[in-house]
Amino acid sequence: MRGRIHSFETFGTVDGPGVRFVVFFQGCPMRCKYCHNPDTWDTSLGTEYSAQEVLSKMTRNLAFYKTGGITATGGEPLLQIDFLIELFALAKENGIHTCLDTSGICYTEKQREKYERLLSLCDLVMLDIKQADTKKHKDLTGHENKAVLDFISLACEKKTHLRIRYVLVPGYTDSTEDLKGLAKILKGITGIEKLEILPYHNMGQVKYERLGLKYPLKDVVPPTGEDAQVAYAKVSTYLSE
């Protein structure tokens, strides 16, 4: 089996605990307006690798990853779930910590057994919640969020360790209604190790220009780190209500 990979990052420090080997999968079904990796969307691009070839790129420097492990991100890794399962199974055979960075958008009940297998191989899932409201979610990403909520339910059922990420986008995810909706979802989740509210940034705009794409949020002023902290405090208050 071969997977389509966009790129690799060695010695990553923001995609899971410790120092990590980060694998950017090619392909994503969503078109998030704040996406900073539009070059990962097209499923026909990327370079093909076997799971062993990917892992070999990591194990040649394995000593540097003793405090971390391997992270699958994208794009959306779940688009290539069979390859992802093979890669993570191989990683676990080699005693390597596995982390999946995903939106959960590809989940279907028909593939439940595959997802159960995948979650059994994940030491950690970093889950991106884009929007709590399904209509706003579709406006922001092009998809409703039912699959995401179903994926969350399965992850809770399987007692998966979760880190939740939420991007604060002015006018799209930062209203009181938005933050209360996020808190409502979080109240139903078990196994949350950490919640991160991240300020939207426009550093990916140059990629859109390079690809000849219109940047959807060119008039949106990025929030500050302090804005994100205020939003985090609000969500924490809503969680305690």
3-class secondary-structure state, position 3: strand
Q: How many residues would you count in the chain?
A: 241
CA distance 45 to 68: 29
Q: What pLDDT, on a 0 to 100 scale, did the predictor assign at position 126?
A: 98
CA distances from 207 to 149, 174, 194, 221 (A): 30, 25, 30, 18
Which strands, in side-by-side order, build the sheet including 124-128? 47-50, 2-12, 20-25, 69-73, 97-102, 124-128, 162-168, 192-199
Q: What mean pLDDT comes out for the span 225-231? A: 98
Q: What pLDDT, on a 0 to 100 scale, did the predictor assign at position 17?
A: 95
Q: Which pLDDT band holds residue 96 (cuts at 50, 70, 90)?
A: very high
Q: What pLDDT, on a 0 to 100 scale, did the predictor assign at position 191?
A: 82
Query: Nearest to residue 74, comparing CAs of 128, 33, 149, 139?
Result: 128
Average pLDDT of the chain is 97
Pull the structure tokens for residue 167: 């991007």
Q: What pLDDT, on a 0 to 100 scale, did the predictor assign at position 184?
A: 97
Q: What pLDDT, on a 0 to 100 scale, did the predictor assign at position 190?
A: 86
Q: What is the pTM of this model?
A: 0.95
Q: What mean pLDDT comes out for the span 110-138? A: 98
Are 40 and 75 in contact by the 8 Å Cβ rule? The answer is yes
Are 14 and 82 in contact by the 8 Å Cβ rule? The answer is no
Residue 232: Cβ within 10 Å count: 17
Q: What pLDDT, on a 0 to 100 scale, did the predictor assign at position 135?
A: 97
